[in-house]
Structure 1
Amino acid sequence: MQELRLKIGKMTCTNCSNAIERVCKKIDGVSDVSVSYVNSSGIFLVENLKLKDKISQKIKELGFEILEEENLEIDEKKRVLKLKINLFLSIVLSLVIMYFEMFVKSENSKSLQMFLAFFAIFYCGRGFFYHALAGLRYKNLDMNTLVSLGALSSFVYSVFVYFGFFAREEHLYFSGGAMIISFVLLGKFLEERIQFKALKYQRKLEKIDTKKVKILDKDGNIKESSSAFVKAGDILLLDEGENVSVDGVILEGKAELDLSFLNGEFLPILKQAGDEILAGSFIISGNLKIKASKKAMDSTLEQLKDLVFKAGSIKTPLSNLANKISAYFVAMIIILACCVFIFWSIKENLSIAFLHSCAVLLISCPCALGLATPIVLTRAFEKAAKNFILIQNPAALENLSQIQCVVFDKTGTLTENNLSVFKHNLAQKDFEKLAHIESFSPHPIAQAIFKASHLEKKPLQAEIQTLVGKGLIYKEQEDIFLVGNEEFLKENEIPFESVKEFLNQYENEAPIQVYFAKNQKCLGGVALSNALKNGAKELIQNLKKENIQSIILSGDNLKSVQKTALELGIDEFYASLKPEEKFEFIRAKEKEEKVLFVGDGINDAIAMNLASASMSFAQASELAKKTGDFILIREDLSAIVMCFELSKRIKTLIKFNLFWAFIYNICCIPIAAGILPFIVLSPHIAALAMCFSSLAVVLNSLRKI
């Protein structure tokens, strides 16, 4: 399956995006669709990208349009301008119609009212009718259907009265029909303006220009290239006034950087040789030579763009509930409006029946339900990104608020990745051989040993096999080398007692132990030490305050894990675990309570995938990063506390939005139907009340997160 992304224009509410989803899912070769009204975007999981034309055609048939990325902002401005013009015209026409209705009583006045109302309803409100008719073709009922029916019924009813079809009725509702369009357009205009504010961060990311780079080749020549072709290891030259196009490490130079795209801070940050640098950073002053640590397309900036693009499209459990209700809501309202009309036409007269049935149609728009989640999630992504957190799975934000237990890996998670060699009893030649073998492993232990050797990285001459959670086997000609933990040597029946005795002397200061063997003989061992990560103690204390249990699951030896657990005050810990043992532990734990797994290694990936929520780090293995629901860009564990706080906050906002939308409709629909004899809602007042419901949800979503 491949992912197709499209920018979609002319969507007026979340029901429009739901309509596109329902229609496009029926296309052969399309397995899944997620469309966001908030982001004006759609993500389609397709068998072949050639389906783009077919999908685009279906979207156009529904009354929407496909936009080019570079024209998106221009289209947004045109749409708002068009909306403003239609709104202005409809308000002016509504006021003129009202004037003639109230103060000029004549046949000419009625004729003029009908003519102006026709223009106000069918020209200024043409978008509602166009989308309603296109939706009916695919059996899709939405807000446009209700607004169109309400405005059309008021106009048709008034025309019948004008031509004398209803002998006893004299009151015309031409002004009411025009005002329906005016009030709905007013609500849409305000909604669009607020929505643009919510998407300010996304547009800021999209404007960062990182398309061109200067690459320094091996011969010292400088060539200009597209950033899309930058790969790990390339040397880039950056000047004042340029945006950094790739994540990397500064080799030479010093510069002040603007990182506001990520952290929201306007004050520049000084970076110099040895510091890491992120794509999207803007060089305010200075010049830099950097070494790319990954492809430009894999940079933090591109991940941010990707995740923010998806923010409003990905459905969470709460938004799925709202969408299921909205799917049947409009049909139920139309049936209810018909019942109300029949009831009041029998009980009173056609005029009263029209008032109540039209009010029911207009007051019960499902837009508020659809808007309850996407804007909140979009803002949550912005808040998280500014705190150096990437949210890969929005649904995990809801799960996080229910977490009762946090399970941690140890090395690289609770303790620093940058281990250091404390002691070893290997001959220099053997230590260098060990370092050479370890040089191609991304594991923190391997990297620490290689770093301590001060050797240059050279290609290995023979076969190497990695055994996750144990070590590795390296075969070179007739020699077989084993690097790993105590259990690994036991499995291979290699005696190591004397080496263990040496390493145990330093177990308090350096509890991490690595053994090196050649041809069934243990050559020696290495003792490594590492410190706790920044914020680890504070994190465990915060979790205890929230009555959340902390557990360590580690593949390291018992003494190393025990030392870390004692330092942090964690009572439950397990050592020397294999990946499958971590998996079984999480599976059993998940039966009792919701679990968050925090890890960074390949051996953590299967356990992370099983947990209710998972977190990893920007420096973690690629598999762990792909599996993690949250990626922490900084190695600061206090960000986990921030994730918990963000989860509670956005869940509160979403629940409030849904509660408001449900309660509003539950209370207002009976009033519109005439259940209270002393309150009669005219259609245009009902339309205004409907707009108020959606605006209240949008404004609540923009509260500080």
Structure 2
Amino acid sequence: MEREGLSIKPTIECECTKPVHEAVECFQCGIPITGKPVRYNIDGKDENFCCFGCYLIYKTTGLKGDEGTAVAFLGKFGFGYFLAMLVFMLSTYLYGAHLTPDDPQAQMFTGFIKYIILILATPVMILLGYPILKNAFSGGRINLNTDTLIAIGAFSAYFLSVYSVFTNKPSIYFETATMILVLVTFGRYLETSSRAKASNFMKKLMELSPEKATIIKDGKEVEVSRDDIKVGDIVKIIPGEKIPADGIVIEGQGHVDESLLTGEVKPVLKNVGDEIFTGTVNIDGLFKIKVNKPSEDWTLNRFINLMKEIRASKAPINRISDRIAAFFLPLVIILVSGSFVYWFYQEGFERALIVSMSVLLISCPCAFSIGAPLALWIGLGEAMREGIIIRGADVLEKLSTVKYVFFDKTGTITEKDMVVSYVKALDEQTVRKACALERNSEHPLGKSFVNYCVNRGFDCDCKVEDFKVHFGYGIEGLVDGERIYIGSEKFMKKLGLEILEDLKKIENKAEREGNVPVFIADDQKVAGIVLFSQKIKEEAPVVFRVLQKLKIKFAILTGDTPYFAKIVKEKLGIDQVKAGLLPEDKLRIISEAKKKGKTVAMVGDGINDAPALASADIGIAMGCGTDLTRESANVSLLGDDLRKVPLMILLAKKVRKVIYTNMFWAFIYNIIGLGLALMGKLNPIFAALAMVLSSAFVIANSVRVKNW
């Protein structure tokens, strides 16, 4: 991790210090490989590992990522704990050796016990201590990280003890050296197992895609691995199976459960020509699909890659903790050196060593360094479970400070699918051409109009060319060679077209009733009007009440007429509705709110609201479904449930509260512990135990995020 020239080395066993040469990840730990990767054969396929340690972890545990590392730490802890306890018990005999100084047999047995303890302690130092020592002194230099403090303390005690054994000195601290490493290893197990639990959603995503698929090849059904599926393959999917690849239905009909990817609980009916997505479940259809994308572009794989990017992001508070830790370590080295010198002149070498080891161990900022990232990981995972895709830890932190929330109306405050309630046109040809033009639009009104025409049997297969979108106004295009315009009254005035009196009456009545009027025109005249009725979402009043309780200001921004704004105000019981707005007006309102120094969020459908979403501090796109690549949104909601807006703010506030609690107590813990250690009141073993308890507190406190 690097920022502005500051390098902070994570305490990971397989860390290397060489420059990155290949953009590949370690098969086991998933960390980008630095230097030349180590390749080993796994299930008949050569895989890249960053070091032999990761390969060994995978071979012994069979698990990848934090789960495999946690199991490896647990195994090493068990082995080290067994030997360290033997060392500790035998060391108690040495404590009483001074009681029988004149007994030659007792002294001979004492000398024998020392060598037994040395033999038992050495495997612990190698297995548990070598990875820490490697991380502390790699690349031909001393790395300022927490492992450096642990390595200095533990190995100082060990080598002093080895020297004392061979020179018959009394300074033997094998039990201290081994127990320090055992406690540190147990702390690492707690950390990695907590990270693994925080990553469970990622694991569930990866399990959504089936391992095998049935493809039709030369008229025969062949079972292949999902990794062998290629663009153009014909895949057969029977009822109850998971969809193994993105593709187009070429044969069959049935319902598909897309709830995890789209947030839509109701099964979706799929017919020939519809697209099916990886990881969704075929409920009752017998499908044959043609794979239309390479595997890296499949919806589920894009989802997983997005999650990896989110997990790799750092919040400002996280980077601050890294910076503090980096400056804290040199300070600790100074305190350790000072304490050693002081106690050396006060009570001699042994006392100085014990005190300095205590200072080293209690000052390890393990809890401080995991306090922010662990809470953020858990928070991001909880959001994902609710269908809230927060694109980075920095966004989650910023969400906790939101003071203004602006809402678009159509598809956000109102139901996304508006119903065509009335159509009046000069002739059927006008409706057909309007339908053909709207087929090219992603706007909810356009989709509703197309559905209306199709259900009534209109032939809308006209040739459309030169399709254009006029944000805030409408659309235009050449339909069978004739220029057609569809849009608002403002669009018609902009085109210089006059609305006939009979259409004007229909428009006025529609606005009084809360319907949305849209006009159809050609180069010469306004040729028709379409009315859309819309329903305000049932959860909208609840959302605004919650925002009021959170003391967050809000407003609805809409391009509709004041008539509809009045209806919205009456139904929702709010005054903050701004009507008749163009996209640039929305940008202006958002900009004015930002100038007040407050964090501003904009909620929209992510299509025609892209400029406003991009302008706000936090853009929230509703109903993204399988479209996870909208660059204008910081947050994507897989469904259309408006309640997720205050929900994500509450989650963000909970995460921020937990982070500040973690950092406060970790900091106080270190200050108190350092004071006791410098005064010589803290034994090294208890210092190591205190470090583990500090990490355990932070982990337990971070888990409270799940109870938001």
Compute the TM-score of the two structures, normalised by the length of structure 1: 0.81
How far apart are 1:474 and its partner, in Å? Answer: 1.8
| Aligned equivalents of 2:540, 2:164: Cα separation in 1 | 76
The amino acid of 1:243's aligned partner reads K
| Aligned equivalents of 1:210, 1:416: Cα separation in 2 | 35
The amino acid of 1:16's aligned partner reads T
| Aligned equivalents of 1:486, 1:99: Cα separation in 2 | 89
Evaluate the alpha carbon distance shift between residue 624 and residue 203 of structure 1 in structure 2; reply closer, same or farther with a 3 A threshold.
Answer: closer
How far apart are 1:536 and its partner, in Å? Answer: 1.6
Q: Quick check: 1:415 aligned with 2:419? A: no
| Aligned equivalents of 1:605, 1:260: Cα separation in 2 | 24
Which residue does the alignment assign to 2:530? 526
Comparing 59-68 with 149-158, which one deviates more in the overlay?
59-68
CA contact (8 A) 1:414 1:532 kept: yes
Q: Quick check: 1:127 aligned with 2:134? A: no
Q: 2:10 aligns with which of 15, 24, 32?
A: 15
| Aligned equivalents of 1:19, 1:68: Cα separation in 2 | 11
How far apart are 1:202 and its partner, in Å? Answer: 2.4
| Aligned equivalents of 1:302, 1:546: Cα separation in 2 | 37
Q: 2:30 aligns with which of 29, 38, 41?
A: 41
The amino acid of 2:549's aligned partner reads K
Evaluate the alpha carbon distance shift between residue 572 and residue 257 of structure 1 in structure 2; reply closer, same or farther with a 3 A threshold.
Answer: closer
Q: Partner of 1:507: helix, strand, or coil?
A: helix
Matches within 5 A, 1:114-153: 114-134=118-138, 137=140, 140-153=143-156
Evaluate the alpha carbon distance shift between residue 254 and residue 446 of structure 1 in structure 2; reply closer, same or farther with a 3 A threshold.
Answer: closer
Which residue does the alignment assign to 1:157? 160
The amino acid of 1:15's aligned partner reads P
| Aligned equivalents of 1:179, 1:578: Cα separation in 2 | 68
| Aligned equivalents of 1:601, 1:293: Cα separation in 2 | 27
| Aligned equivalents of 1:290, 1:537: Cα separation in 2 | 45
How far apart are 1:191 and its partner, in Å? Answer: 3.6
The amino acid of 1:364's aligned partner reads S
Which residue does the alignment assign to 2:196? 196
Q: Quick check: 1:93 aligned with 2:83? A: yes
Query: Which deviations, in whole Å up to 9, do the C-alpha atoms of 1:226-254 show, x marking residues without a partner?
Result: 87899999997632442134689999766
Q: Quick check: 1:511 aligned with 2:515? A: yes
The amino acid of 1:402's aligned partner reads T
CA contact (8 A) 2:67 2:192 kept: no
Which residue does the alignment assign to 2:550? 546
CA contact (8 A) 1:599 1:624 kept: no
CA contact (8 A) 1:533 1:635 kept: no
Evaluate the alpha carbon distance shift between residue 224 and residue 180 of structure 1 in structure 2; reply closer, same or farther with a 3 A threshold.
Answer: closer
How far apart are 1:621 and its partner, in Å? Answer: 11
Which residue does the alignment assign to 1:660? 665
| Aligned equivalents of 2:175, 2:620: Cα separation in 1 | 57
Evaluate the alpha carbon distance shift between residue 598 and residue 298 of structure 1 in structure 2; reply closer, same or farther with a 3 A threshold.
Answer: farther
Query: Which deviations, in whole Å up to 9, do the C-alpha atoms of 1:278-308 show, x marking residues without a partner?
Result: 753446x744559899968666644542344
| Aligned equivalents of 1:96, 1:90: Cα separation in 2 | 10
Which residue does the alignment assign to 1:182? 182
CA contact (8 A) 1:550 1:570 kept: no
Matches within 5 A, 1:279-298: 279-282=278-281, 286-287=284-285, 289=287
Which residue does the alignment assign to 1:346? 345
Evaluate the alpha carbon distance shift between residue 620 and residue 84 of structure 1 in structure 2; reply closer, same or farther with a 3 A threshold.
Answer: closer
How far apart are 1:434 and its partner, in Å? Answer: 1.2
Which residue does the alignment assign to 1:6? none
Which residue does the alignment assign to 1:489? 492
Q: Partner of 1:689: helix, strand, or coil?
A: helix
| Aligned equivalents of 1:228, 1:453: Cα separation in 2 | 42
Which residue does the alignment assign to 1:683? 684
Matches within 5 A, 1:348-427: 348-426=347-425, 427=427
How far apart are 1:450 and its partner, in Å? Answer: 1.7
Comparing 273-282 with 484-493, which one deviates more in the overlay?
273-282
The amino acid of 1:441's aligned partner reads S
Q: 2:540 aligns with which of 532, 536, 539?
A: 536
| Aligned equivalents of 1:606, 1:556: Cα separation in 2 | 18
Q: Partner of 1:474: helix, strand, or coil?
A: strand
Which residue does the alignment assign to 1:464? 467
How far apart are 1:19 and its partner, in Å? Answer: 11
CA contact (8 A) 1:248 1:290 kept: no
CA contact (8 A) 1:554 1:577 kept: yes
CA contact (8 A) 1:14 1:370 kept: no
Unaligned stretches of 5+ in structure 1? 1-12, 44-51
Which residue does the alignment assign to 1:48? none
Query: Which deviations, in whole Å up to 9, do the C-alpha atoms of 1:514-544 show, x marking residues without a partner?
Result: 1222123221222211111341222112212
| Aligned equivalents of 1:597, 1:441: Cα separation in 2 | 22
How far apart are 1:690 and its partner, in Å? Answer: 1.3
| Aligned equivalents of 1:230, 1:607: Cα separation in 2 | 40
How far apart are 1:428 and its partner, in Å? Answer: 1.7
How far apart are 1:69 and its partner, in Å? Answer: 11
How far apart are 1:383 and its partner, in Å? Answer: 2.1
The amino acid of 2:656's aligned partner reads K
| Aligned equivalents of 1:490, 1:474: Cα separation in 2 | 18
Which residue does the alignment assign to 1:627? 632
| Aligned equivalents of 1:61, 1:42: Cα separation in 2 | 8
Evaluate the alpha carbon distance shift between residue 270 and residue 229 of structure 1 in structure 2; reply closer, same or farther with a 3 A threshold.
Answer: farther
Query: Which deviations, in whole Å up to 9, do the C-alpha atoms of 1:78-111 show, x marking residues without a partner?
Result: 6556544533443333333333433253333334
Q: Quick check: 1:616 aligned with 2:621? A: yes
Q: 1:638 aligns with which of 634, 637, 643?
A: 643
Q: Quick check: 1:109 aligned with 2:113? A: yes
| Aligned equivalents of 1:94, 1:589: Cα separation in 2 | 62
Which residue does the alignment assign to 2:100? none
Evaluate the alpha carbon distance shift between residue 303 and residue 394 of structure 1 in structure 2; reply closer, same or farther with a 3 A threshold.
Answer: farther
Which residue does the alignment assign to 1:46? none
| Aligned equivalents of 1:316, 1:689: Cα separation in 2 | 28
Q: CA RMSD in A?
A: 4.3
Comparing 334-343 with 576-585, which one deviates more in the overlay?
576-585
CA contact (8 A) 2:625 2:639 kept: no
Evaluate the alpha carbon distance shift between residue 292 and residue 393 of structure 1 in structure 2; reply closer, same or farther with a 3 A threshold.
Answer: farther
Compute the TM-score of the two structures, normalised by the length of structure 2: 0.81
Give the fraction of aligned pairs with identical amino acids, expressed as a percent.
27
| Aligned equivalents of 2:538, 2:288: Cα separation in 1 | 26
Which residue does the alignment assign to 1:206? 206
| Aligned equivalents of 1:665, 1:208: Cα separation in 2 | 44
Comparing 689-698 with 72-81, which one deviates more in the overlay?
72-81
The amino acid of 1:393's aligned partner reads G
CA contact (8 A) 2:471 2:608 kept: yes
Q: 1:574 aligns with which of 578, 581, 590?
A: 578
Q: Partner of 1:615: helix, strand, or coil?
A: strand
Matches within 5 A, 1:686-701: 686-701=687-702
How far apart are 1:346 and its partner, in Å? Answer: 1.8
The amino acid of 2:125's aligned partner reads I
How far apart are 1:406 and its partner, in Å? Answer: 0.9
Q: Partner of 2:152: helix, strand, or coil?
A: helix
Q: Partner of 1:458: helix, strand, or coil?
A: coil
| Aligned equivalents of 1:624, 1:597: Cα separation in 2 | 18
| Aligned equivalents of 2:379, 2:516: Cα separation in 1 | 39
Which residue does the alignment assign to 2:103? none
Evaluate the alpha carbon distance shift between residue 649 and residue 247 of structure 1 in structure 2; reply closer, same or farther with a 3 A threshold.
Answer: farther
Q: Partner of 2:410: helix, strand, or coil?
A: coil
Comparing 410-419 with 603-612, which one deviates more in the overlay?
603-612
The amino acid of 2:611's aligned partner reads I
Q: 1:589 aligns with which of 583, 586, 593?
A: 593
Unaligned stretches of 5+ in structure 2? 1-7, 39-47, 98-109
The amino acid of 2:466's aligned partner reads E
Evaluate the alpha carbon distance shift between residue 231 and residue 626 of structure 1 in structure 2; reply closer, same or farther with a 3 A threshold.
Answer: farther
Q: Partner of 1:370: helix, strand, or coil?
A: helix
CA contact (8 A) 1:257 1:281 kept: yes
How far apart are 1:598 and its partner, in Å? Answer: 0.2
Evaluate the alpha carbon distance shift between residue 465 and residue 545 of structure 1 in structure 2; reply closer, same or farther with a 3 A threshold.
Answer: same
| Aligned equivalents of 1:378, 1:391: Cα separation in 2 | 11
CA contact (8 A) 1:257 1:271 kept: yes
